[in-house]
């Protein structure tokens, strides 16, 4: 009764890191709403400040700490009346150290402790609320009080949590715990509810989508896998695109690829982090596959009867990556078989096997390699875009463009939210979530300009640039 009698709290959130973290934040937002508390956009106005942190790599850790310290200053300026909560992966990784070094923080919650915010808001929580991670650790379900944020017609759905893979460079198993998957009926129930609220696109996320269901037998659940899940989701009327982030190379089955290429509602898009091409580096990374596996997977994707857009990430500067290994990777990228690419310098993370390896690559060398690959990819993608001039695409409208109030912006099927570029719609009218037919009339390295006037020809300058590039 005491919780209901207290005045509503005013809560301010900062969510850092990946889409999986965003889903966790949305659970906490839902808790605030369910209690009758109020979300505010100004930290000065709030009495509770929450930072959902990322602890994946050094730069993410630094951003998390800087954000917490900025809010701690606001708390101090208020006379200490505000409560500061540090949640998520960084709290999970260093609970004791952070508790000692950050006396300004009133409460710590781990990566599976979103529901712990309720006790914080009720004034009943201990300072340390970081739980141990196991197969039984919390994983949200369709009944969770989730409040999504963003464009509304596109939402992330987390189908599993944690990871059992032994990749040498990755700290995720320590941050998120072991693999634990949601039952198919529960995911389908959540997606049905999202579609009823106006969602047209769901982006399925997990640390590894392709190990979905591998923990079911141990937990006494029916033996289902990702293919079964896609079969079920493909039956949901009103859903337009089911987008997949992230697949593991050795677990990307032919059945999965056939569903991506053939199922009506599964987007022709796959995000599969390859990490490298060189067999020696892949072995040092403990990835469990070779250059041949990478090339075979890319071949299988390109051999599908319909186009599937391929996104991947590469990690450069891993211990043992000599010039020959890097050149092998660079030559592979230069073949132009990757549609969307992210490249990151290796980050030494305490507690990982890679952190103990010799043959370190200087960080400035790794940064230069990453920059070179990204510049090469930009030119390759420009040429790919030039080849799309005149093509008619289905474009999902995300809203009025931030570039100009006279433009709409959206994405075609091969563009995921926030990471793969945009389609700028230069004419016509549409609402958020609408799917429109639009012709490509101009292109850049990252984005496309499209017209809803399907009789409109591509811009002459764009055609001339494409002809010059072809020569």
> Per residue in 426-466, pLDDT tens?
999 999 999 999 999 999 999 999 999 999 999 888 888 77
Phi and psi at 157, nearest 5°, equal -130, 120
Find the mean pLDDT for residues 23-51. Answer: 96
Domain membership flag for residue 268: yes
Find the mean pLDDT for residues 403-419. Answer: 93
Indicate which CATH number applies to the domain containing 422. Answer: 2.40.50.140
Domain boundary among 383, 410, 434: 383
> Per residue in 174-187, pLDDT tens?
999 999 999 999 99
Domain membership flag for residue 134: no
Q: For residue 137, what are the contacts with CB-CB under 8 A and spacing of at least 6?
A: 112, 131, 161, 162, 177, 180
Q: Which of 125-129, 139-143, 467-471 has the lowest mean pLDDT?
A: 467-471
Find the mean pLDDT for residues 348-352. Answer: 90
Residue 56 is predicted with a pLDDT of 86
Q: Are residues 170 and 43 in the same domain?
A: no
Q: Are residues 174 and 272 in the same domain?
A: yes
- Whether the predicted pLDDT of 339 surpasses 60: yes
- Whether the predicted pLDDT of 3 surpasses 60: no
DSSP 8-class letter at 137 = S
Find the mean pLDDT for residues 204-229. Answer: 94
Q: Kindly indicate the confidence band of residue 6, based on its pLDDT and cuts at 50, 70 and 90.
A: low
Domain membership flag for residue 355: yes
Q: Are residues 74 and 188 in the same domain?
A: no
Q: Kindly indicate the confidence band of residue 4, based on its pLDDT and cuts at 50, 70 and 90.
A: very low
Q: Are residues 39 and 160 in the same domain?
A: no
Indicate which CATH number applies to the domain containing 255. Answer: 3.80.30.20
User: Do the Cβ atoms of 111 and 172 come closer than 8 Å?
Assistant: no
Residue 53 is predicted with a pLDDT of 96
CA dist 453 and 129 (Å) reads: 56
- Whether the predicted pLDDT of 34 surpasses 80: yes
Strand-strand pairing, 48-53 and 10-15 = parallel
DSSP 8-class letter at 144 = S
Q: Between residues 6 and 353, which one has the greater pLDDT?
A: 353
User: Do the Cβ atoms of 215 and 181 come closer than 8 Å?
Assistant: yes
- Whether the predicted pLDDT of 2 surpasses 60: no
E strand spans, 163-304 = 180-181, 201-205, 241-245, 266-271
Find the mean pLDDT for residues 91-95. Answer: 96
How is residue 50 written in tokens? 């929450």
Find the mean pLDDT for residues 248-254. Answer: 97
Domain membership flag for residue 349: yes
Q: What percent of the chain has pLDDT over 70?
A: 98
Residue 399: domain span: 392-470
Domain membership flag for residue 173: yes
CA dist 236 and 239 (Å) reads: 6
CA dist 315 and 313 (Å) reads: 7
Q: Kindly indicate the confidence band of residue 415, based on its pLDDT and cuts at 50, 70 and 90.
A: very high
Q: Cα dihedral sign for 329, 332, 336, 338?
A: negative
Q: Kindly indicate the confidence band of residue 99, based on its pLDDT and cuts at 50, 70 and 90.
A: very high
Burial 224-253 (b: 16+ CB within 10 A, else e): bbbbebbeebeebeebbbbbbbbbbbebbe
Q: Kindly indicate the confidence band of residue 158, based on its pLDDT and cuts at 50, 70 and 90.
A: very high
Distances from the Cα of 39 to the Cα of 13, 45, 86, 106, angstroms: 8, 10, 17, 19
How is residue 415 written in tokens? 């563009």
Instruction: State how many domains the chain has.
Output: 3
Q: Are residues 298 and 397 in the same domain?
A: no
Domain membership flag for residue 63: yes
- Whether the predicted pLDDT of 80 surpasses 80: no
Q: Are residues 24 and 115 in the same domain?
A: yes
How is residue 64 written in tokens? 């998390």
Q: Which residues pair with 50 in a beta bridge?
A: 13, 85
Q: Are residues 344 and 218 in the same domain?
A: yes
Q: Are residues 175 and 111 in the same domain?
A: no
DSSP 8-class letter at 154 = E
Find the mean pLDDT for residues 370-376. Answer: 98
Q: Are residues 355 and 396 in the same domain?
A: no
- Whether the predicted pLDDT of 36 surpasses 50: yes
Q: Between residues 217 and 6, which one has the greater pLDDT?
A: 217
Domain boundary among 358, 383, 408: 383
Residue 150 is predicted with a pLDDT of 80
CA dist 38 and 16 (Å) reads: 21
Q: Are residues 377 and 447 in the same domain?
A: no
Question: For the residues of 443-461, what is the DSSP string, one character each?
Answer: E-SS-EEEES-TTPPPPHH
Strand-strand pairing, 408-412 and 423-425 = antiparallel
Q: Cα dihedral sign for 222, 224, 229, 232?
A: negative
Question: For the residues of 311-362, what is the DSSP string, one character each?
Answer: EEEEEES-TT--HHHHHHHHHHHHT---SEEEEEE----TTSSGGG-SSPPP
Q: Are residues 161 and 290 in the same domain?
A: yes
Mean pLDDT of the chain: 94
Q: Are residues 182 and 59 in the same domain?
A: no
Indicate which CATH number applies to the domain containing 38. Answer: 3.40.50.12160
In 3D space, the residue among 350, 278, 288 whose CA is nearest the CA of residue 316 turns out to be: 278
Residue 471 is predicted with a pLDDT of 57
For the entire predicted model, the pTM comes to 0.93
Domain boundary among 345, 362, 383: 383
């Amino acid at each position: 009764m005491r919780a209901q009698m207290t005045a509503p709290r005013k809560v301010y959130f900062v969510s850092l890191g990946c889409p999986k973290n965003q889903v966790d934040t949305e659970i906490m937002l839902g808790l605030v709403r369910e209690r009758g508390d109020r979300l505010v956009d100004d930290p000065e106005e709030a009495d509770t400040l929450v930072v959902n942190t990322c602890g994946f790599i050094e730069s993410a850790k630094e951003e998390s700490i800087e954000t917490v310290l900025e809010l701690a200053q606001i708390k101090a300026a208020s006379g200490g009346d505000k409560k500061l909560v540090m949640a998520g992966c960084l709290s999970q990784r260093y609970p004791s150290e952070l508790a000692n070094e950050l006396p300004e923080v009133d409460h710590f919650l781990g990566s599976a402790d979103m529901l712990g915010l309720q006790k914080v808001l009720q004034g009943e929580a201990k300072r340390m609320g970081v739980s141990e991670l196991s197969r039984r650790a919390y994983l949200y379900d369709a009944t969770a009080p989730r409040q999504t944020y963003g464009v509304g017609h596109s939402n992330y759905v987390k189908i599993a949590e944690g990871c059992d893979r032994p990749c040498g460079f990755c700290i995720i198993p320590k941050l998120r715990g072991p693999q634990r998957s949601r039952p198919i009926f529960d995911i389908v129930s959540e997606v049905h509810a999202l579609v009823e609220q106006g969602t047209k696109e769901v982006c399925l996320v997990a640390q590894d989508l392709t190990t979905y269901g591998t923990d079911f037998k141990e937990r006494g659940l029916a033996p289902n896998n990702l293919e079964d899940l896609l079969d079920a989701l493909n039956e949901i009327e009103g859903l337009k695109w089911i987008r997949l982030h992230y697949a593991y190379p050795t677990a990307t089955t032919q059945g999965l690829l056939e569903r991506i290429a053939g199922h009506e509602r599964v987007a022709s898009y796959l995000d599969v982090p390859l990490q490298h091409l060189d067999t020696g580096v892949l072995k040092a990374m403990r990835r469990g596959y070779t250059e041949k596996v990478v090339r075979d997977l890319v071949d299988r994707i390109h051999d599908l009867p319909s186009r599937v857009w391929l996104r991947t990430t590469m990690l450069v500067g891993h211990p043992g990556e000599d010039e020959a290994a890097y050149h092998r990777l660079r030559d592979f990228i230069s073949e132009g078989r990757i549609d969307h690419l992210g490249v990151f310098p290796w980050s030494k993370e305490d507690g990982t096997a890679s952190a103990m390896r010799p043959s370190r690559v200087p960080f400035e060398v790794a940064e230069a390699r990453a920059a070179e690959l990204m510049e090469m990819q930009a030119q390759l993608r420009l040429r790919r875009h030039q080849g799309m001039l005149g093509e008619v695409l289905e474009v999902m409208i995300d809203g009025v463009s931030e570039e100009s109030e006279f433009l709409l912006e959206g994405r075609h099927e091969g563009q995921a939210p926030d990471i793969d570029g945009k389609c700028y719609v230069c004419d016509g009218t549409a609402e958020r979530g609408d799917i429109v037919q639009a012709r490509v009339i101009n292109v850049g390295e990252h984005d496309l300009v499209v017209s809803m006037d399907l009789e409109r020809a591509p811009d002459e300058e764009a055609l001339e640039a494409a002809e010059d590039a072809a020569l």
